[in-house]
Structure 1
Amino acid sequence: MRAVGAARKVVGYAPGAWDLFHVGHLNVLRHAAARCDYLIAGVVDDAMLEAAKGRRPVVPALERAEIIRSVRFVDEVVVETQPDKLLTWREHPFDLFFKGDDWRGTPAGADLEQRFGEVGVEVVYFPYTMHTSSTQLRRALTLLDPAAARTSVAAE
């Protein structure tokens, strides 16, 4: 945990799927940790991720949580089992909420800012690392072995 003397600690929350962990994920956690004294990372569980994205993750939630727990920038990990971030805030209070800048200016982003603003939480946007993403990695894996991709989906 990063300490700030006697001053009140600023707690940040960075939710994500964190599937197929890559340098873009690391950058988000690094930037988030630089903005707060204590960083909580939320790992979206498999069922919630499937409902939101229409597919199961490649790496199961408990394994993704273990990976994120091992990142030195992260102080605490919670597995998210429901989509309402305000409920997460009530269970694990934080001052800053970190999100990708693709949410900035969207109705979902505006709703998030409004709801969190009512309880004093600032939404902080970070740019994505453009040269890599889990979606790109998933596509590359499918191109390398289309049969494995079909088997993986059928097994889920």
Structure 2
Amino acid sequence: MKTVITFGTFDVFHVGHVKLLKRAAALGDTLIVGVSTDELNYNKKGRYPVYSEADRMQIVNSMRFVNFCFPEASLEKKSEYITYYGADVLVMGDDWEGKFDMFREICEVVYLPRTPSISTTKLIEVISNT
């Protein structure tokens, strides 16, 4: 059994999120997803997500290829989360290329290409300007 873990905010859920999670799930038998808490997102981006932490977790958990999701409360605890959940593979979008290589000591690290021309930040900007 191979366990895959990934992390993200998953705000304003879109097809890019679906494709990333589906490709991540295909790399193992179990997919575990860390969903950034509202506070973590605020500290990281200077704004709260559009959707609440509970709503975002419910959306991610509803995907048939996601086995479990949990609230990611701290960026500094990624290695603890990886170890705690027994992850064999860490998957992140390629916009993070190289930034998680330090975890290669405890698991395989895979960067998947993002879906072109779509991002939550761009969607929020478009919605805000209409």
TM-score, normalised via structure 2 length: 0.94
Q: Deviations over 1:75-130 (max 9, x none)?
A: 1111111212012123222010011111214xxx1xx212x2222x0110011111
Partner of residue 92 from structure 1, selected from 63, 66, 85: 85
Q: Please give the root-mean-square deviation of Cα atoms over the aligned residues, in Å.
A: 1.0
Unaligned runs of 5+ in 2: none
Q: Which has the larger radius of gyration?
A: 1
Q: 2:66 matched to 1:66?
A: no
Structure 2 counterpart of 1:45, from 15, 37, 46: 37
In the alignment of these two chains, the number of paired residues is 129
The runs of 5 or more residues in structure 1 that have no matched partner are 1-8, 145-156
The alignment status of 1:118 with 2:118, answered yes or no, reads: no
Question: Percent of pairs identical after alignment?
Answer: 36
- Structure 1 outlier segments of 4+, above 3 Å: none
Aligned equivalents of 1:71, 1:52: Cα separation in 2: 26
Q: Which residue of 2 aligns with 1:154?
A: none
Q: TM-score normalised to the size of structure 1?
A: 0.79
Distance across 1 between alignment mates of 2:73 and 2:86: 16
Alignment of 1:5-154 (within 5 A): 9-83=1-75, 84-105=77-98, 109=99, 112-114=100-102, 116-119=103-106, 121-144=107-130
